Protein backbone atom coordinates (compact mmCIF):
# COMPACT_ATOMS: atom_id res chain seq x y z
CA UNK A 1 0.00 0.00 0.00
CA UNK A 2 2.77 2.41 1.01
CA UNK A 3 4.68 1.48 -2.13
CA UNK A 4 1.66 2.30 -4.31
CA UNK A 5 1.23 5.66 -2.59
CA UNK A 6 4.92 6.49 -3.14
CA UNK A 7 4.65 5.50 -6.81
CA UNK A 8 1.58 7.68 -7.31
CA UNK A 9 3.34 10.59 -5.59
CA UNK A 10 6.35 10.20 -7.88
CA UNK A 11 4.11 10.10 -10.97
CA UNK A 12 2.33 13.28 -9.85
CA UNK A 13 5.66 15.04 -9.29
CA UNK A 14 6.84 14.03 -12.77
CA UNK A 15 3.57 15.28 -14.28
CA UNK A 16 3.90 18.64 -12.51
CA UNK A 17 7.54 18.97 -13.60
CA UNK A 18 6.58 18.12 -17.17
CA UNK A 19 3.74 20.66 -17.11
CA UNK A 20 6.06 23.33 -15.71
CA UNK A 21 8.56 22.67 -18.48
CA UNK A 22 5.90 22.96 -21.16
CA UNK A 23 4.64 26.20 -19.63
CA UNK A 24 8.16 27.61 -19.55
CA UNK A 25 8.84 26.58 -23.15
CA UNK A 26 5.63 28.35 -24.17
CA UNK A 27 6.50 31.50 -22.22
CA UNK A 28 10.01 31.49 -23.71
CA UNK A 29 8.39 32.15 -27.09
CA UNK A 30 7.05 35.46 -25.78
CA UNK A 31 10.42 36.85 -24.65
CA UNK A 32 12.06 39.27 -27.09
CA UNK A 33 15.39 38.82 -25.31
CA UNK A 34 15.66 35.09 -26.15
CA UNK A 35 16.83 33.65 -29.46
CA UNK A 36 16.36 29.90 -29.97
CA UNK A 37 18.64 28.66 -32.73
CA UNK A 38 18.77 25.05 -33.95
CA UNK A 39 21.70 23.25 -35.54
CA UNK A 40 19.95 23.02 -38.90
CA UNK A 41 19.45 26.78 -38.97
CA UNK A 42 23.19 27.36 -38.63
CA UNK A 43 24.38 24.43 -40.71
CA UNK A 44 24.75 26.44 -43.90
CA UNK A 45 24.14 30.00 -42.73
CA UNK A 46 25.44 32.32 -40.02
CA UNK A 47 23.02 33.70 -37.41
CA UNK A 48 21.45 36.94 -38.65
CA UNK A 49 22.93 38.97 -35.77
CA UNK A 50 26.49 37.73 -36.28
CA UNK A 51 28.71 40.82 -36.45
CA UNK A 52 25.67 43.02 -35.76
CA UNK A 53 24.82 42.41 -32.11
CA UNK A 54 25.79 45.91 -31.02
CA UNK A 55 24.26 47.70 -33.98
CA UNK A 56 21.00 45.81 -34.46
CA UNK A 57 20.12 44.34 -31.06
CA UNK A 58 21.76 46.33 -28.26
CA UNK A 59 21.74 49.62 -30.20
CA UNK A 60 25.06 50.73 -28.70
CA UNK A 61 28.80 50.22 -29.06
CA UNK A 62 29.41 48.72 -25.61
CA UNK A 63 31.55 45.61 -24.88
CA UNK A 64 29.90 42.19 -25.25
CA UNK A 65 30.27 39.62 -22.45
CA UNK A 66 29.19 35.96 -22.80
CA UNK A 67 28.21 33.46 -20.13
CA UNK A 68 28.59 29.94 -21.55
CA UNK A 69 26.46 27.14 -20.09
CA UNK A 70 24.62 29.89 -18.23
CA UNK A 71 21.85 27.69 -16.77
CA UNK A 72 19.37 30.01 -15.06
CA UNK A 73 21.43 33.03 -16.10
CA UNK A 74 22.30 34.29 -12.63
CA UNK A 75 25.66 35.65 -13.75
CA UNK A 76 24.27 37.13 -16.96
CA UNK A 77 21.52 38.96 -15.08
CA UNK A 78 23.73 39.83 -12.09
CA UNK A 79 26.43 41.38 -14.27
CA UNK A 80 23.80 43.13 -16.37
CA UNK A 81 22.40 44.79 -13.25
CA UNK A 82 25.85 45.98 -12.19
CA UNK A 83 27.13 47.22 -15.52
CA UNK A 84 24.65 49.12 -17.65
CA UNK A 85 27.56 50.13 -19.89
CA UNK A 86 28.18 46.54 -21.03
CA UNK A 87 26.11 44.02 -23.01
CA UNK A 88 25.60 40.47 -21.69
CA UNK A 89 24.52 37.30 -23.50
CA UNK A 90 23.85 34.01 -21.70
CA UNK A 91 24.07 30.81 -23.74
CA UNK A 92 22.65 27.40 -22.83
CA UNK A 93 20.88 24.53 -24.60
CA UNK A 94 18.32 23.97 -21.82
CA UNK A 95 15.22 26.09 -22.43
CA UNK A 96 13.58 25.38 -19.07
CA UNK A 97 16.66 26.70 -17.27
CA UNK A 98 17.03 29.77 -19.49
CA UNK A 99 13.43 30.71 -18.72
CA UNK A 100 14.35 32.10 -15.30
CA UNK A 101 17.02 34.50 -16.54
CA UNK A 102 14.98 35.53 -19.58
CA UNK A 103 11.92 36.27 -17.45
CA UNK A 104 13.87 38.32 -14.89
CA UNK A 105 15.63 40.39 -17.56
CA UNK A 106 12.42 40.81 -19.56
CA UNK A 107 10.30 41.93 -16.60
CA UNK A 108 13.02 44.32 -15.41
CA UNK A 109 13.40 45.76 -18.93
CA UNK A 110 17.13 45.04 -19.01
CA UNK A 111 18.03 46.08 -22.54
CA UNK A 112 21.68 45.13 -22.05
CA UNK A 113 20.86 41.43 -21.48
CA UNK A 114 20.00 38.72 -24.01
CA UNK A 115 19.96 34.93 -24.13
CA UNK A 116 20.69 32.32 -26.78
CA UNK A 117 19.31 28.80 -26.64
CA UNK A 118 21.76 26.87 -28.79
CA UNK A 119 24.84 24.67 -28.76
CA UNK A 120 28.08 26.37 -27.69
CA UNK A 121 29.81 24.47 -30.51
CA UNK A 122 28.11 26.89 -32.92
CA UNK A 123 29.79 29.97 -31.43
CA UNK A 124 31.53 30.94 -34.68
CA UNK A 125 28.16 30.99 -36.44
CA UNK A 126 26.76 33.36 -33.81
CA UNK A 127 29.56 35.91 -33.38
CA UNK A 128 32.06 37.55 -35.70
CA UNK A 129 35.83 37.76 -35.24
CA UNK A 130 36.72 39.97 -32.24
CA UNK A 131 33.04 40.69 -31.56
CA UNK A 132 33.21 39.35 -27.98
CA UNK A 133 35.14 41.14 -25.21
CA UNK A 134 34.87 38.71 -22.29
CA UNK A 135 33.71 35.16 -21.52
CA UNK A 136 32.46 33.59 -18.28
CA UNK A 137 32.21 29.81 -17.76
CA UNK A 138 30.35 29.23 -14.51
CA UNK A 139 29.73 25.82 -12.92
CA UNK A 140 29.53 23.94 -16.19
CA UNK A 141 29.36 20.14 -16.40
CA UNK A 142 33.00 19.00 -15.87
CA UNK A 143 32.50 16.18 -18.39
CA UNK A 144 34.85 13.87 -16.46
CA UNK A 145 34.46 11.02 -18.96
CA UNK A 146 34.89 13.06 -22.14
CA UNK A 147 37.71 15.61 -22.35
CA UNK A 148 36.60 16.90 -25.76
CA UNK A 149 33.28 18.07 -24.31
CA UNK A 150 34.84 20.13 -21.50
CA UNK A 151 34.27 23.83 -22.11
CA UNK A 152 37.93 24.56 -21.36
CA UNK A 153 39.49 21.89 -23.58
CA UNK A 154 41.75 23.05 -26.48
CA UNK A 155 38.98 22.36 -28.97
CA UNK A 156 36.66 24.88 -27.29
CA UNK A 157 39.42 27.40 -26.59
CA UNK A 158 40.12 27.49 -30.32
CA UNK A 159 36.49 28.44 -30.87
CA UNK A 160 36.66 31.18 -28.27
CA UNK A 161 39.83 32.56 -29.86
CA UNK A 162 37.90 33.10 -33.10
CA UNK A 163 35.29 35.38 -31.52
CA UNK A 164 37.00 37.06 -28.54
CA UNK A 165 39.10 40.15 -29.13
CA UNK A 166 42.89 39.97 -28.57
CA UNK A 167 43.59 40.28 -24.84
CA UNK A 168 39.98 39.48 -23.93
CA UNK A 169 39.46 37.99 -20.46
CA UNK A 170 38.05 34.52 -19.78
CA UNK A 171 36.86 33.22 -16.39
CA UNK A 172 36.30 29.68 -15.13
CA UNK A 173 34.41 29.26 -11.86
CA UNK A 174 33.74 25.70 -10.70
CA UNK A 175 33.30 23.38 -7.75
CA UNK A 176 35.01 20.58 -9.67
CA UNK A 177 38.60 19.90 -8.56
CA UNK A 178 39.11 17.74 -11.65
CA UNK A 179 38.01 20.46 -14.09
CA UNK A 180 40.01 23.12 -12.26
CA UNK A 181 43.23 21.07 -12.24
CA UNK A 182 42.75 19.97 -15.85
CA UNK A 183 42.19 23.56 -17.02
CA UNK A 184 45.10 24.99 -15.06
CA UNK A 185 47.53 22.38 -16.38
CA UNK A 186 46.27 22.60 -19.95
CA UNK A 187 46.49 26.41 -20.02
CA UNK A 188 50.11 26.21 -18.88
CA UNK A 189 50.97 23.55 -21.44
CA UNK A 190 49.39 25.62 -24.23
CA UNK A 191 51.22 28.77 -23.04
CA UNK A 192 48.04 30.74 -22.34
CA UNK A 193 48.31 33.56 -19.80
CA UNK A 194 46.86 32.86 -16.34
CA UNK A 195 46.12 36.14 -14.58
CA UNK A 196 44.88 34.60 -11.34
CA UNK A 197 43.96 31.14 -10.08
CA UNK A 198 42.90 29.60 -6.80
CA UNK A 199 41.58 26.24 -5.66
CA UNK A 200 39.84 28.02 -2.76
CA UNK A 201 38.52 31.35 -4.04
CA UNK A 202 36.81 32.39 -0.80
CA UNK A 203 39.98 31.63 1.11
CA UNK A 204 41.76 34.46 -0.75
CA UNK A 205 41.50 38.24 -0.55
CA UNK A 206 40.90 38.47 -4.32
CA UNK A 207 38.25 41.12 -4.94
CA UNK A 208 36.14 40.98 -8.10
CA UNK A 209 32.65 40.23 -9.42
CA UNK A 210 33.66 36.60 -9.16
CA UNK A 211 32.82 36.75 -5.44
CA UNK A 212 30.00 39.26 -5.46
CA UNK A 213 27.69 37.27 -7.77
CA UNK A 214 26.79 33.71 -6.79
CA UNK A 215 24.71 31.19 -8.71
CA UNK A 216 22.05 28.99 -7.10
CA UNK A 217 24.41 25.99 -7.23
CA UNK A 218 27.34 27.96 -5.86
CA UNK A 219 25.38 28.98 -2.79
CA UNK A 220 24.40 25.35 -2.31
CA UNK A 221 28.02 24.16 -2.67
CA UNK A 222 29.25 26.75 -0.18
CA UNK A 223 26.65 25.62 2.37
CA UNK A 224 27.92 22.08 1.89
CA UNK A 225 31.45 23.28 2.67
CA UNK A 226 32.79 22.77 -0.84
CA UNK A 227 35.65 24.95 -2.03
CA UNK A 228 35.07 27.07 -5.13
CA UNK A 229 37.84 27.12 -7.73
CA UNK A 230 38.56 30.00 -10.09
CA UNK A 231 40.86 30.82 -13.00
CA UNK A 232 41.08 34.16 -14.80
CA UNK A 233 43.04 33.94 -18.03
CA UNK A 234 43.75 35.18 -21.55
CA UNK A 235 44.36 33.15 -24.71
Which residue numbers are catalytic?
A: 141
| Strands 229-234, 193-198: pairing kind | antiparallel
Cα dihedral 185, 135, 139, 181 in deg (nearest 10)? 10
C-alpha 47/C-alpha 155 separation (Å) is 21
Whether 93 contacts 28, CB under 8 Å = no
C-alpha 72/C-alpha 201 separation (Å) is 22
β-bridge partners, 68: 91, 137
CA 135, chain centre distance (Å): 9
C-alpha 160/C-alpha 74 separation (Å) is 21
- Nearest alpha carbon to residue 64 among 74, 72, 76, 73: 76
SS3 170: strand
Amino acid sequence: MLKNQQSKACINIIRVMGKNKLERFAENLTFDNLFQVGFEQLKNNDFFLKGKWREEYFKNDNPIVLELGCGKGEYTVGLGERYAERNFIGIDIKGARLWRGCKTAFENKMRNVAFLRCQIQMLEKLFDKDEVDEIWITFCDPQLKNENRRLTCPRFLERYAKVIKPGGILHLKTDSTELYEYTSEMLKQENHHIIFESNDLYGTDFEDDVKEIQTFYEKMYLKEGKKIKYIKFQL
